[in-house]
Chains A and B, each alone.
Chain A
Amino acid sequence: MPAPVVAIIGAGQAGFQAAASLRDSGFAGRVILIGDEPVLPYQRPPLSKSYLAGQSRADDLWLRPSEFYANHQIDLVCGDPITAIDRGQRRLHLASGIEFSWDHLVFATGAGCRPLAVPGAELDGVLTLRTVADADALRQRLEEAREVVVVGAGFIGLEFASVALARGSLVHIIEVTRQPMGRVVSMPVSRFFTEAHIGWGADVALGTGVVRILGAEGRVTGVETTDGRLIPADLVLICIGVIPNAGLARDAGLTVDDGIVVDEYLVTSDPAISAIGDCANFPTPFAPARVRLESVQNAVDQGRCVADRLAGRPAPYQKVPWFWSDQGDLKLQIAGITIGHDQSVLRGDPANRSFSVFCFRGRRLIGVESVNRTADHVIARRLLAGDPLLSPEQAADESYDLRAHARSLTGR
């Protein structure tokens, strides 16, 4: 019997990890890693952080050097999008005309920026941020930009805003909800970061949408908002979330519902196909409903989970979610999933710019958001891996030793 072939669509963090971990696990078949960007697999987090700020170079982004792929017998195909998937024949068709057969297929197709459907969104100077090419364009524009409008106060928008503010640009942040990063973080953390950005000099408009983007001679000149303002701008970043790249999967007849639907083993509705990373919608012990997570942790751990299964060691995916965001002098670290908490307590004082919010549902700890407080974050990740047995009262009491608590449960 010929060696099995695993084809991975998408050469981002998840796809790369699946390929690398297949080799680490001793998988003996062929591994094909196919990406649609014309560059080596790279890290995305720095694109809105150190890379955007000019503190790191493109060479610092590559996950591994080009020789790595050959040395590990990973067939890497860059800059060649998939055009069709034939599930019956188990064949992939690429834009260049190349075809591959596969025994197991892994979707690691990621997500794309959600477009803003307003007049003027096509003007020169209206940008999005997802790829290294986007970051290069944004970095160049930022050199000359005097007045910047950020549409959407999620992680990308706020990280970009903090870089632009540090560069001395005038920054306007427009957010349609009343709560920046509100899809993910608790109210106290959202408020704290909103005030931090105001403190750094940003103009923040909450509960405000964009009516149209204005331009002259094809170039952006400003933004008209739903509260009737005309904000001048020579650079507009649209960052209102992402849409999972699930079109190919849908066309192939797989179940898709806010991402490619998988079971706890990350298998799609076709047992010969898996999905991992930003594009996968999966059940998790860390939330009452299915989730789709956009993070390095999720991409890496799901890549490993699929590789282990394909190498003959199947296990359900149950890793503690974690996440971080750098904004100015603030490092936000999140352990667990805090959405849907019914109680939250503060540990530490936001006035000192170092605190954590412990979030509970039915008095069980479900997640912790820490600002400049790594020690709490580390303990939270350890506690959430089992039954945390931590009460809100203990969490709020700074004299209660969390480290000793964690040690009593985990023995470490």
Chain B
Amino acid sequence: MPKVTYVHPNGAREVLDVPLGTSVMRAAIVNSVDGIVAECGGEMMCATCHVYVEPEQLGRTPPQSDDEKAMLEFTASERKPNSRLSCQLVATPELDGLVVYLPETQV
């Protein structure tokens, strides 16, 4: 099962086993990782599951859809080149070892 590391703004790290086909967002919700709000439930209608992907790993993540790019305009914390909606990061073998940084705030 791919392992994903969530790094909190204070540096604390949580490592989760994310089942294949489950999003990085949903895994965080199910495991009560604070810092992922996911207001719309993964429908790309909000930007409250915003994460920063470890820049070196960006190439391993699935490409951004136009909808995701558009919705990233609503992030409450600064949008950066490595900003993603974690609902769109669905676990695959390639994402094993992924590190995502949680923003200061989601709302």
Contact = CB atoms under 8 A, between A and B. Distances in A.
B32 A65 contact: yes
A60 B43 contact: no
B26 interface: yes
Nearest to B68: A374
B66 A375 contact: yes
A374 B71 contact: yes
A311 B43 CA distance: 30
Given A60-B26, A374-B70, A65 B31 contact: yes
Interface string B93-107: 000000000000001
Contacts of A62: 30
B16 interface: no
Given A64-B29, A65-B30, A65-B31, A45 B70 contact: no
B14 interface: no
A374 B43 contact: no
A382 B75 CA distance: 12
A147 to B, nearest CB: 30
Contacts of B107: 304
A57 to B, nearest CB: 11
A46 B45 contact: no
Interface of A is mostly: helix
Contacts of B45: 296-297, 322, 324, 333
| Interface size class, chain B | 10 to 19
B58 to A, nearest CB: 22
Interface string B50-85: 000000000000000011001101100000000000
A71 B71 contact: no
B40 interface: yes
Given A45-B43, A60-B26, A378 B66 contact: no
Contacts of B29: 63-65
Contact of B43 (A324, A377, A378): A324
A374 B44 contact: yes
A375 B32 contact: no
A46 B41 contact: yes
A61 B90 CA distance: 17
B74 A378 contact: yes
B30 A378 contact: no
Contact of A374 (B30, B31, B41, B66): B66
Contacts of A296: 39-41, 45
Contacts of B32: 64-65, 67-68, 71
Interface residues of A, number: 27
B70 A381 contact: no
A382 B30 CA distance: 31
Interface in B4-30: 26, 29-30
Contacts of B67: 374
B55 to A, nearest CB: 23
Interface in A56-91: 59-60, 62-65, 67-68, 71
A43 interface: yes
A300 interface: yes
A296 B71 CA distance: 17
- Most A CB contacts (10 A, CB to CB) among B30, B32, B40, B45 go to B45
Given A374-B66, A378-B70, 19 more contacts: A43-B41, A45-B40, A45-B43, A59-B30, A60-B26, A63-B29, A64-B29, A65-B31, A65-B32, A71-B32, A296-B40, A296-B41, A300-B39, A324-B45, A333-B45, A374-B71, A378-B74, A381-B74, A382-B73
11 contacts: A45-B41, A63-B29, A65-B30, A67-B32, A71-B32, A297-B39, A300-B39, A326-B43, A333-B45, A377-B70, A412-B73
Interface of B: 26, 29-32, 39-41, 43-45, 66-67, 70-71, 73-74, 107
Q: Which 6 A-B pairs have the closest CB atoms?
A: A374-B67, A374-B70, A378-B70, A375-B70, A43-B41, A68-B32
